[in-house]
Amino acid sequence: MAAVLVVEDDQFVRSALIRHLTDASHTVRSVGTALEALREVAHVRFDLVILDLGLPDLDGSEALKMLRGITDVPVIVATARDDEREIVRLLNAGADDYLTKPFSVEHLSARMAAVLRRARPAAGAVPPSTVLRVGGLAIDPLRREAELDGVRLDLTRREFDLLAFLAGRPGVVVARKELLAEVWQQSYGDDQTIDVHLSWLRRKLGETAARPRYLHTLRGVGVKLEPPRAERTP
Ligand code: CA
């Protein structure tokens, strides 16, 4: 069972998808334009997005890029083009998988199951849950839940991974390169990706770069997470 956002402008394809996904006991929301999709993912947390690349308002890869700017939700792109270079480009642009239209519901189900499996590691693959506590933060890596002062934080997958990684080594300055490798599983990339996610995380923690509480950026060095000064035990 997953919360799925279907982004598809073709009424016929859209209702077929909704019917199939609902039958498979997923919860579905659907929109017909990229801008509506962006608005949805900014407000609702989905487990998966199925993104048609031929939308009326934005080019599909443009839509994907903008989507990636706000969320790490797994995205399966549905493309009419069976063009290998285009598909490689989309996967590089952040798509988790793709489907070439027309596709069967069986094919869609199989791709969805694989993407969801990757996004949510199997319970057996994760070590027994140890809740990480740093000041008022409590992070449960197994349940993938984080709280600040008892209030549940609504984090994206990447924000959660970033927070959990830093909370696992409180007070330790982690280099950007290490964050890229450990959280993004990339050996290279630009610092902006990290900075953007850090600023979102910061906002959700209710702090700013100018007045940090938990998240401290050391220019040119890296980032560390530690309890706010007043809450530190002597
Ligand atoms: Ca279309």
Domain map of the chain by residue range? 3-119, 132-231
Average pLDDT, the chain: 87
194 contacts 180 by C-beta, under 8 angstroms: yes
Q: pLDDT grade, residue 126 (50/70/90)? A: very low
Question: What are the CA-CA distances from residue 38 to residues 7, 65, 69, 176 (Å)?
Answer: 10, 11, 10, 28
User: What CATH number belongs to 132-231?
Assistant: 1.10.10.10
Question: Is this structure's pTM higher than 0.75?
Answer: no
Q: Residue 53 Cα, ligand 1 centroid: separation in angstroms?
A: 6
Q: Residue 127 Cα, ligand 1 centroid: separation in angstroms?
A: 43
Pairing of strands 151-152, 145-148: antiparallel
Least confident of 2-11, 77-86, 103-112, 185-194: 185-194
What pLDDT does 29 receive? 95
What pLDDT does 119 receive? 81
Q: Residue 164 Cα, ligand 1 centroid: separation in angstroms?
A: 38
What value does the mean pLDDT take over residues 59-80?
88
Q: What is the pLDDT of residues 3-45, one digit of tens each?
A: 999 999 999 999 999 999 999 989 999 999 999 999 999 888 8
Residues with Cβ within 8 Å of residue 7, at least 6 apart in sequence: 30, 31, 32, 33, 34, 36, 37, 49, 50, 51, 52, 55, 63
What pLDDT does 181 receive? 83
Q: Residue 156 Cα, ligand 1 centroid: separation in angstroms?
A: 27
CATH superfamily name and code, 3-119: Response regulator (3.40.50.2300)
Task: State the Cα–Cα distance between residues 126 and 26, nearest whole angstrom.
Answer: 25
Assess whether the region 3-119 and the region 132-231 belong to the same CATH fold: no
- Whether residue 232 is predicted with pLDDT greater than 70 in this model: the reply is no
The first and second tokens of residue 137, run together, are 């933060």
Q: Residue 125 Cα, ligand 1 centroid: separation in angstroms?
A: 38
